[in-house]
C-alpha cells in the first residue's frame, strides 16, 4: 500500500520565535522519520499554494487580505497566541495547498492515504478570524475542495487534537455533506465543543462532539472510538475521511491534562484506517494540528505512518503515563452522546 507525505521547507519559514507552535516541530518530525527509515517508505507529494478562490470557500476575502497585508508589513501578534511573520502568509497558502495536494493524491489513486505535515495549523481558524495558532483552516478548505473538485457528497472529518476545532465545526455546522467528529479536553480552549452542539438546520446531527474530562488516556479514547466513532461513521458512510491529527493529548505534553500514549494514538489511527478500508476504499488524508512535546510528537507521527503503511511493530519509546487512570468516569457522557445521536 502506498502512503503519501506532503512536506516543504516553506513551512519552516512561518517564524513564531519561542512560541510552542514553532518550526522545530517539523524539524524534529522529519529528522525522526529519516532516521527511522520511515521516510524512505513514503511517496513524496509536493505541495502547491492554495488560491485565494480556494481559501474563500471557507474564509472571507477581508480576512485573507488582512493576513496578507499584516505579513507584508512585517507581522506580529494577531492575538495573544497567534503569531505572523513576514513569510507566514505564503507558508499558510502552502499549508492549505498541501492538504489539497494530499486530497488529489488520494482521490487520483496515486496513494491510498496521505499525511500533510504542514504549518501553520488550521482547525481553530474561523471565516472572519484567525486564532489559536491558526491562520487558515487547512482541513476545511481541503474538504470544500474535495466536494467541489471531485463531486463528493459525504466527507467525515475526525479531529483528535486535544483542543476543539471550533473553526471546522463552524464551517460545516449547517452542512449535511460533512460530518465533523471531535474528541477534546473540556472545558478547555477555545470553550466550544459541548456534546449538545450537534449541528443546525440541514446539518443537525452531523456534528458529533465528545468533550472529555482531564486525565483521560488510551482506554477512554479507545472506548470513544469504538462506541461512538465507529457506529457514526458506518451510518454516515463517508467517501473520504479527513483527520485533524493533533498529538497534544500525549501524557508528556504540558499543554493539556490528557494521558494518551504513542501506542494509544496508533490504535486510534488504526481504527480510522479500518473504517476507511471498510467504507471508502482506504481513502484517508491527515493534516498536522497540535503537539508540542517534541519527542512525543515525532514518535506519534512515526507511529501514525507505521499504521498507514501496515507496519506490524509500533515503537513507543516514551511508554505509558507515570500515573494512568482518570479522575472521572465517562460512562454517563457516552450514554448521553449515544442518546442524542440515536446510536442505540
Q: List the catalytic residues.
A: 124
All three cell numbers of 324: 494512568
Closest by CA to 33, choosing from 300, 318, 313, 320, is 300
The DSSP output letter for 165 is -
Grid-cell match 485533524, residue found? 244
All three cell numbers of 70: 499584516
Return the percent helix, strand and coil in the chain, to nearest 5: 40, 15, 45
Count of Cβ atoms closer than 10 Å to residue 1 Cβ: 11
The DSSP output letter for 57 is T
Angle between helices 61-72 and 88-107 (to 10 degrees): 130
Closest by CA to 127, choosing from 146, 142, 143, 140, is 140
Whole-number Å distance between alpha carbons of 162 and 261: 13
All three cell numbers of 146: 474535495
Closest by CA to 145, choosing from 90, 97, 88, is 97
CA angle 309-312-317, nearest 5°? 100
All three cell numbers of 30: 522529519
Whole-number Å distance between alpha carbons of 73 and 70: 5
Coil, strand or helix at 217: strand
Return the bridge partners of 155, or none.
178, 240
Amino acid at each position: 500500500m502506498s502512503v503519501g507525505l506532503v512536506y516543504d521547507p516553506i513551512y519552516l519559514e512561518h517564524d513564531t520565535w519561542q512560541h510552542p507552535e514553532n518550526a522545530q516541530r517539523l524539524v524534529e518530525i522529519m529528522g525522526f522519520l529519516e532516521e527511522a527509515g520511515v521516510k524512505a517508505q513514503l511517496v513524496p507529494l509536493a505541495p502547491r499554494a492554495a488560491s485565494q478562490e480556494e481559501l474563500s470557500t471557507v474564509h472571507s476575502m477581508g480576512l485573507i487580505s488582512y493576513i496578507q497585508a499584516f505579513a507584508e508589513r512585517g507581522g506580529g501578534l494577531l492575538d495573544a497566541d497567534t503569531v505572523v511573520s513576514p513569510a507566514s502568509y505564503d507558508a499558510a497558502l502552502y499549508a492549505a495547498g498541501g492538504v489539497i495536494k494530499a486530497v488529489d493524491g488520494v482521490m487520483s489513486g496515486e496513494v491510498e492515504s496521505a499525511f500533510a505535515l504542514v504549518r501553520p495549523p488550521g482547525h481553530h481558524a474561523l471565516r472572519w478570524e484567525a486564532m489559536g495558532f491558526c491562520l487558515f483552516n487547512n482541513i476545511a478548505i481541503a474538504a470544500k475542495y474535495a466536494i467541489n473538485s471531485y463531486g463528493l457528497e459525504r466527507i467525515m472529518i475526525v479531529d483528535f487534537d486535544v483542543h476543539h476545532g471550533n473553526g471546522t465545526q463552524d464551517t460545516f455546522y449547517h452542512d449535511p455533506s460533512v460530518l465533523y467528529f471531535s474528541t477534546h479536553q473540556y472545558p478547555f480552549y477555545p470553550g466550544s465543543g459541548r456534546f449538545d452542539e450537534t449541528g443546525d438546520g440541514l446539518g443537525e446531527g452531523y456534528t458529533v462532539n465528545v468533550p472529555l474530562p482531564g486525565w483521560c488516556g488510551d482506554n477512554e479514547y479507545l472506548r470513544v472510538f469504538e462506541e461512538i466513532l465507529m457506529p457514526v461513521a458506518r451510518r454516515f458512510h463517508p467517501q473520504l475521511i479527513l483527520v485533524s491529527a493533533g498529538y497534544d493529548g500525549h501524557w508528556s505534553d504540558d499543554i493539556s491534562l490528557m494521558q494518551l500514549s504513542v501506542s494509544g494514538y496508533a490504535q486510534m489511527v488504526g481504527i480510522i484506517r479500518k473504517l476507511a478500508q471498510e467504507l471508502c476504499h482506504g481513502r484517508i488524508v491527515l493534516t498536522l494540528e497540535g503537539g508540542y512535546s517534541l519527542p512525543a510528537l515525532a514518535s506519534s507521527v512515526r507511529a501514525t505512518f507505521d499504521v498507514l503503511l501496515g507496519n506490524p511493530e509500533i515503537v513507543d519509546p516514551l511508554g505509558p503515563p507515570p500515573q494512568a487512570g482518570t479522575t472521572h468516569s465517562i460512562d454517563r457522557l457516552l450514554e448521553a452522546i449515544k442518546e442524542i445521536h440515536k446510536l442505540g
